[in-house]
Amino acid sequence: MWNKIFERLRLRMTFTYAVIFGVLILAIVFTAYCFIWWEILANEKQELVKKVYHEAEEWVNSGENPCSDNSVKEGSMLAYFVTMDGKKVILNQLGDGNCGRTIWKHRDRWPQKMDSTRILRMHGVDGDVPNTRYRYLAAVAPVKDKGETIGKLYMFENIEFYYAAAFRTLFKLLCVAALLFVFACYFGYWLAERNILPISHMYARQMQFTADASHEMRTPLAVMKLAAQGLAEDEDSSYSEFAQESIGMIQSETARMSKLTENLMALARSDEGILPNLKTEINMTELCRQVGAQLSLLAQEKGIVLQQHFAENLTLVGDETALNRLLVILLDNALKYSPANTTVVFTAAKSKGQLLIVVKDEGCGISDEDKKKVFDRFYRVDKARSRSQGGLGLGLSLAQAIVKQHRGTIKILDNKPCGTIMQVSLPL
């Protein structure tokens, strides 16, 4: 059995799995990206420090400049050589291009400690193309001549290429992550089905059992009811008071059991997703009148005034038996949970393209906390009272199932100063 409840559960589980897989995939992608980036930068920093030492040695030995003219012109590698106190410039290879000027403008951010490196992320200087950004790796090392430190050499490597490559890699990784995510969603959907299947089988068996058991109990109960009625009406026999009481008890309990089996069967059917016959057009005005008349006797017996107002020509496409049951449930509750000398108002009217059925009573009312629970099966606010009234706690859950099957809504509101308003709206 695979009904709407399980389909919704499956979608919810798929969503949860998708979120978990998505977070995992993103975490893996970003960790991998960070590791690769960190490795590349660490390696580049080491290489640049080595290069500074190497170029310093070359300069001391042969007077060769650290950067070629081409590198200075392109801004790919720049150098700046000063005395240790920074007062005298020995060699300036920053060039007169925008890169060199930008690096010079940010000289306070150059690495200070010997053999250290620093990434300089800078915006272009005035006169540069707006929003130009420069990314350089800077390194500094001492320059020694015959064991004596004669100055410090700064070298700046343009690492724009690495950033561009890193972004390209990240984009590709994210594309792979998106593909993996789609696959993960499918996998989650499949996994959810696999996990739900045993539960749904168990649920179906239980539903089948409830439906079968209720069905099997119908005939013996009908026989018992008839037999008890026969006994009660048998004028030839004279019963003791105890026997008469017992017959009365058998009659009321069999009536209760019949109602229970009917309700259980109806609920089992709605659980199975078997929709009632929603094709016939029903005259709701007539149906409301019938139910009102049917229950007005009960109202009279309890000393309750039952007021009825129905708009004319209210028609609805739905299941007549189910809607009849819905009205009985609402009215029965209003009469059952209201004391004598109160009024129950039963109305049906058209409102905003909906059929609005309202049952208003002046009874004990339902607390806000219980309003959510009364639709649960076998839930009764006051068990002893409800039982004494013949209540099983199935009425409202069945009413809710019928309303849902007709794509409507059911609401419980408070009646002022006391009592309950049951409001059902069904699409016309």
Minimum distance between the CB of residue 302 and Mg ion, rounded to whole angstroms?
A: 15
Could you give the C-alpha distances from 301 to 290, 296, 305, in angstroms and in order? Answer: 18, 9, 10
Any contact of residue 214 with ligand ATP (CB under 6 A)? no
Q: Look up residue 404 and give its two tokens.
A: 């849902």
Minimum distance between the CB of residue 370 and ligand ATP, rounded to whole angstroms?
A: 7
Using CB atoms within 10 Å of the CB of residue 235, give its burial: 0 to 12 exposed, 13 to 18 middle, 19+ buried: exposed
Q: Which of residues 370-389 bind ligand ATP (CB under 6 A)?
A: 374, 379-382, 386
Any contact of residue 333 with Mg ion (CB under 5 A)? yes
Total binding residues toward ligand ATP, as defined by CB under 6 A: 23
**Looking at 396, 401, 403, 426, which residue binds ligand ATP (CB under 6 A)?**
396
Minimum distance between the CB of residue 263 and Mg ion, rounded to whole angstroms?
A: 10
Using CB atoms within 10 Å of the CB of residue 130, give its burial: 0 to 12 exposed, 13 to 18 middle, 19+ buried: exposed
Total binding residues toward Mg ion, as defined by CB under 5 A: 2
- Report whether 323 contacts 316 (CB < 8 A): yes
Q: Which of residues 56-115 bind Mg ion (CB under 5 A)?
A: none
Beta carbon nearer to ligand ATP, 59 or 346: 346
Where does this chain touch Mg ion (CB under 5 A) — which range of 206-214, 301-309, 394-402, 403-411? 394-402
For residue 417, cis peptide bond before it (omega within 30 degrees of 0): yes
Residue 13, contacted partner among Mg ion, ligand ATP, none, CB below 5-8 A by kind? none
- CB-based contacts of 152: which residues, under 8 Å, 6+ apart? 81, 82, 83, 84, 114, 140, 141, 142, 143
Nearest to 93 by CA among 112, 76, 111, 109: 76
Alpha-carbon distance 358 to 421, whole Å?
7
Alpha-carbon distance 90 to 373, whole Å?
87
Any contact of residue 264 with ligand ATP (CB under 6 A)? no
Any contact of residue 395 with Mg ion (CB under 5 A)? yes
Alpha-carbon distance 162 to 37, whole Å?
9
**Looking at 14, 214, 261, 333, which residue binds ligand ATP (CB under 6 A)?**
333
Any contact of residue 328 with ligand ATP (CB under 6 A)? no
Residue number with the shortest CB distance to ligand ATP? 395
Could you give the C-alpha distances from 65 to 107, 157, 215, in angstroms and in order? Answer: 21, 15, 101
Beta carbon nearer to Mg ion, 395 or 408: 395
Residues interacting with Mg ion, by CB under 5 A?
A: 333, 395
Q: Which residues bind ligand ATP (CB under 6 A)?
A: 329, 333-334, 337, 361, 363-366, 374, 379-382, 386, 391-397, 420
